[in-house]
Amino acid sequence: MFSARFLRIGFSFVTCALVLLALSDRTVRSQDKSEIEDANATLQAVGGLGIGHIQSSLGLIGVTADAFAKDVYTPKQVEDLMNGTINGIESVKKLLRRLQDNELTDDDEEYIDRMINVYNALQREAKALVTFAKSKKPADAEIFDTARKAAVVKLAQLTEGDKIPAAASTDKTE
């Protein structure tokens, strides 16, 4: 079977490759529902794979937290996995910002900004997990839980309009 690290690296690579492909195409059209048939397929692929990468990153952070809670991972292993996740997300964010240097519609610019906000929330969640893994303090566990809920809310807002899952808090932190 593939390791979580292998899958994370592979998915990050595919996402980065599609963003780079999008960067090479200077004409990018809106993804507005009325024009979806004519929208740029590359930009649609970047959005779709970006959502998949976000969901995979959220899952990896959650699985890592669960494994740590069951003494499967040491604090050092958690730190290593989360640092890789944080760094991979940072690379994708930089590529998305480069994509915004192209001629995008306001809707596409706003969607990429929202994707980056979700990525920021995931980075905060991963950092909070590392802090908790090192300290094992209840206060740090609470900070991690708050960061986790905020990431879930931001993902739900990105993928479902503004519908927030009942399991997530109403915390609106960026």
pLDDT digits (tens, 9 = 90+) for 39-72: 577 788 888 999 999 999 999 999 999 999 999 9
Q: 3-state DSSP call for residue 103?
A: strand
Mean pLDDT over 15-33 rounds to 45
Q: Do 144 and 125 touch, CB atoms closer than 8 A?
A: yes
For the stretch 92-149, pLDDT in tens is 999 999 999 988 889 889 999 999 999 999 999 999 999 999 999 999 999 999 999 9
pLDDT score of 161: 57
Mean pLDDT over 74-102 rounds to 96
pLDDT score of 17: 46
151 domain residue, yes or no: yes
pLDDT score of 7: 47
pLDDT score of 35: 52
Report which of residues 130 and 173 the model is more confident about: 130
**Closest CA relative to residue 115, chosen from 63, 69, 58:** 58
Range of the domain at 67: 4-25+41-159
What is the CATH number for 104? 1.20.120
- Rounded to the nearest integer, the mean pLDDT of the chain is 80
Write down the H helix ranges in the chain. Answer: 4-24, 41-69, 75-99, 106-135, 138-159
Mean pLDDT over 82-88 rounds to 98
84 domain residue, yes or no: yes
Structure-token pair, residue 6: 């292998």
pLDDT score of 165: 47
101 domain residue, yes or no: yes
pLDDT at 31 over 60: no
15 domain residue, yes or no: yes
Residue reference for tokens 């915004």: 100
Q: Please enumerate in sequence order all residues whose Cβ is within 8 A of that of 104, keeping only pairs 6 or more positions apart, or say none.
A: 28, 43, 112
132 domain residue, yes or no: yes
Give residue 33's pLDDT band: very low, low, confident or very high (50, 70, 90): low
Q: How many domains does the chain have?
A: 1
pLDDT score of 10: 53
30 domain residue, yes or no: no
pLDDT at 20 over 90: no
Q: How far apart are CA 85 and CA 71, in angstroms?
A: 20
